[in-house]
Amino acid sequence: MDSTVHYPRKAVFLFGPTGVGKTRLAVDIARGRCEIISVDSMQVYRDMEIGTAKPGPGDLERVAHHLVSIVEPDYRFSAGDFKRLALGAIDDITGRGKIPLLVGGTGLYFRALESRLGDAPPADLELRRSLYREEEKSRGALHRRLLAVDPETADRLHPNDVVRVVRALEIFALTGKTFSRFTKMEVCDNLDVLKIGVTIEREELYARLENRCERMIDSGLGVEVYGLLSSGCDERCPSMKGIGYSHFIDYFKGCFSFDETVRRFKRDTRRYAKRQLTWFRREKDVRWFDPRDVRGVSGEIDRFFTP
């Protein structure tokens, strides 16, 4: 019998809605003691800089970042992939005497890291192909179907997030159980987590998102999307389902005018932030801060890691 005592690994989760200021806060509190693990389902993709709001060169130089720009845009990166790589990064960072600071807004990835997700069925490629064909025939059909069988998951997923909508429907079809059930698995006992949520008043957040979307467009988001399409990516790639990318694909297809594309981009960004807040508000044992309160967050981390 193995008599080794397995002590919990300590890590910090820092989460909140898109555009709230997580990246700046994380870099400011790192101070040479932390390394950042990105918990973002879009920042894992290479050649997608503007629309994913990746950390800039200065931030990457100041603080080591993990799980940023690690796969090609046509790769179907899963929660299982994230969990495997993130746990490896946590061990690596801890082994060098640093604090693993997991930062992002993809709630499912945070949940996957804490939970035992091994009971979910493997992919059924034929079923997936049939679901994607259904979506191609009638855009939004899969999200409407998911809303009927698993409203809790549908409420958390944007209709354009076809990859995750398909996975949720696939699990339901193969097991008869909702995807939301699989995100409520038994919590792992080998990860001790400090959860820090950051948020601001909704009016201020929406104003920030408005400006952020405009900055992305001015910085060349449309050019970035066009370049990805020219390199062989298309709307079937999971990465191209992201907010901003899917909107400009529709624009290049002639579905909407430029002004309408911008309006829809801003609208869907606000809706996404609202869904993120709903998700994170359901988390337990979260300490909530204003993203500008660097001292408060740093103090919370100090207390957590003080023996």
Evaluate whether 73 touches 228 at the Cβ level (below 8 Å).
yes
Residue type, 136: E
Q: Are residues 225 and 135 in the same domain?
A: no
Alpha-carbon span 86 to 92, nearest angstrom: 10
Indicate the helix (H) or strand (E) that contains 12: strand 9-15
**Which residues constitute the domain of residue 228?**
9-118+185-305
As a residue count, the chain comes to 307
Residue 3, pLDDT score:
37
Q: How far is CA 184 from the centre of its chain?
A: 18
Using a 10 angstrom Cβ sphere, with 0-12 exposed, 13-18 middle and 19 or more buried, the burial of residue 57 is exposed
Model confidence pLDDT, tens digit, residues 268-286: 999 999 999 999 999 999 9
Alpha-carbon span 199 to 300, nearest angstrom: 16
- The 10 Å Cβ neighbour count of residue 262 is 18
Q: Are residues 282 and 179 in the same domain?
A: no
Q: Are residues 104 and 207 in the same domain?
A: yes
Model confidence pLDDT, tens digit, residues 52-85: 999 999 999 999 999 999 999 999 888 889 999 9
CATH number at residue 236: 3.40.50.300
- Count of the separate structural domains present in the chain: 2
Phi and psi at residue 253, to the nearest 5°: -80, -5
**In which residue are the tokens 């949940």 written?**
111
Kindly state whether residue 1 falls inside one of the protein's structural domains: no
Residue 183, pLDDT score:
60
Label residue 1 by pLDDT band (50, 70, 90).
Answer: very low
Q: Which residues contact 110 (CB under 8 A, 6 or more apart)?
A: 13, 15, 39, 102, 104
Evaluate whether 115 touches 187 at the Cβ level (below 8 Å).
yes
Q: What angle do CA 219, 221, 222 make, to 5 degrees?
A: 120
Label residue 307 by pLDDT band (50, 70, 90).
Answer: confident
Q: Are residues 200 and 291 in the same domain?
A: yes
Q: How far is CA 7 from the centre of its chain?
A: 28
Instruction: Report the greatest alpha carbon distance in the chain.
Output: 67
Indicate the helix (H) or strand (E) that contains 171: helix 162-175
Model confidence pLDDT, tens digit, residues 224-250: 999 999 999 988 898 999 999 999 999
Evaluate whether 9 touches 192 at the Cβ level (below 8 Å).
yes
Bridge partners of 122?
Answer: none
Question: For all residues of the chain together, what is the average pLDDT?
Answer: 90
End position of a domain, from candidates 169, 184, 199: 184
Residue type, 276: Q
Q: What is the DSSP string of 74-121?
A: TS---HHHHHHHHHHHHHHHHHTT-EEEEEES-HHHHHHHHB--TTSP
> Which residue pairs, CB below 8 angstroms and at least 24 apart, start in 260-268?
262/213, 262/217, 265/213, 265/217, 266/209, 266/210, 266/213, 268/158, 268/160, 268/243
Q: Are residues 132 and 230 in the same domain?
A: no
Higher pLDDT, 90 or 159: 90
Q: Are residues 175 and 196 in the same domain?
A: no
Using a 10 angstrom Cβ sphere, with 0-12 exposed, 13-18 middle and 19 or more buried, the burial of residue 122 is exposed
